[in-house]
């Protein structure tokens, strides 16, 4: 008798991005989740080991039909992994009404990033699928001074001063320097724990949450 995998029956949509997102998707697939990776048209997709156990689909999210395809996938999914760089704070467009001036519909105040511009924000997708877990994996979070700065291991080391204090370790002569500064690769551990906490009723009912990941060294 074959023992079912821990995440058998869990559906995951992974939007193609840098290492933390694909790595999370790989771990979920290793535990039995059905992972669909959404790639940009014209790219080769992920040919690394992190693509194992996944299906892939090329979708142009900038086109209405492409956005509709993703919304359809998310309407049936349990988890969405998204690692796009956040947007800048948005001042909403105002419209005059009989009761005063109100924000335009569809453009709420707050951070207006890639997914918000595509009308694929957590608020929209979770309204259509309340059980959806929406994980945003970004270098410095969705708001704040560094939110739009590229977040990679070398950035964290430089900003923290760690790069200078361990400069000898990072010398060309040291072959082990590749093992330092891999905070973003361990982001999946924190997110994985949060994901498991949201599994209820025997591990099959998933309640919606908005997880924002910001790796810290």
Cα angle for residues 202, 203, 205 (degrees, 5° grid): 95
At residue 91, φ and ψ (nearest 5 deg) are -90, 120
Please report whether residue 2 resides in a domain.
no
Residue 5 lies in a domain: no
Question: Has residue 148 got a pLDDT over 90?
Answer: no
DSSP H or E stretch at residue 8: none
Is residue 97 domain-resident?
Answer: yes
Mean pLDDT of 143-153: 68
Asked if the structure places residue 6 within a domain, the reply is no
Q: Does 66 fall in a domain?
A: yes
pLDDT value at residue 101? 47
pLDDT at 196: 60
Candidate from 114-123, 130-139, 169-178 with smallest mean pLDDT: 169-178
CA-derived radius of gyration, the chain: 19
Cβ atoms within 10 Å, residue 48: 11
Q: Is the pLDDT of residue 147 over 50?
A: yes
Q: Which residue has 């207006």 as its token pair?
A: 112
Mean per-residue pLDDT over the chain, rounded: 71
Question: How many domains would you assign to the chain?
Answer: 1
Q: What is the CATH number of the domain that holds 45?
A: 3.40.50.10540
Find all residues with CB under 8 Å of 164, minimum gap 6, and list them. Answer: none
- CA-to-CA distance for 188 and 70, rounded, in angstroms? 23
187 lies in a domain?
yes
Nearest Cα neighbor of 78 from 205, 200, 191 is 205
54-110 pLDDT, tens digit per residue, is: 999 899 998 999 999 999 999 999 999 888 766 655 544 545 445 444 444 444 445
User: pTM surpassing 0.85?
Assistant: no
> Is residue 1 one of the residues assigned to a domain?
no
| Residues whose CB falls within 8 Å of the CB of residue 147, separated by 6 or more in sequence, listed in order | 86, 111, 138, 140, 141
Q: With 70 as the cut, is the pLDDT of residue 183 above it?
A: no
Which of the two residues, 142 and 216, has the higher pLDDT score?
Answer: 142
**Residue 31 belongs to what domain range?**
11-213
* Domain-located, residue 4: no
The tens digit of pLDDT for each residue in 31-59 reads: 899 999 998 887 776 667 888 889 998 99
Query: Residue 158's CB: how many other CB atoms inside 10 A?
Result: 13
């Amino acid at each position: 008798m074959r023992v079912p995998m821990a995440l058998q029956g869990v559906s995951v949509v992974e939007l193609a991005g840098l290492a933390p997102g694909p790595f999370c998707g790989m771990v979920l697939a290793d535990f039995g989740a059905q992972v669909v990776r959404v790639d940009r048209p014209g790219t080769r997709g992920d040919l690394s080991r992190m693509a194992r156990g996944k299906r892939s689909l090329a979708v142009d999210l900038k086109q209405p039909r492409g956005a509709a395809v993703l919304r359809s996938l998310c309407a049936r999914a349990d988890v969405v992994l998204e690692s796009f760089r956040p947007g800048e704070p948005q001042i909403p467009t105002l419209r005059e009404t009989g009761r005063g001036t109100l924000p335009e519909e569809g453009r709420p105040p707050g951070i207006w990033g890639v997914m918000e511009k595509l009308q694929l924000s957590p608020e929209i997708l979770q309204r259509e699928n309340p059980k959806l877990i929406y994980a945003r994996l970004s270098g410095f979070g969705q708001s704040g001074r560094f939110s739009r700065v590229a977040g990679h291991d070398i950035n964290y080391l430089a900003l923290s001063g760690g790069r200078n204090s361990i400069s000898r370790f990072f010398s060309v002569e040291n072959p082990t320097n590749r093992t330092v500064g891999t905070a973003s690769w361990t982001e999946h551990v924190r997110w994985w724990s949060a994901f498991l906490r949201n599994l209820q009723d025997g591990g099959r009912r998933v309640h919606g949450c908005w997880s924002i990941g910001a790796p810290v060294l």
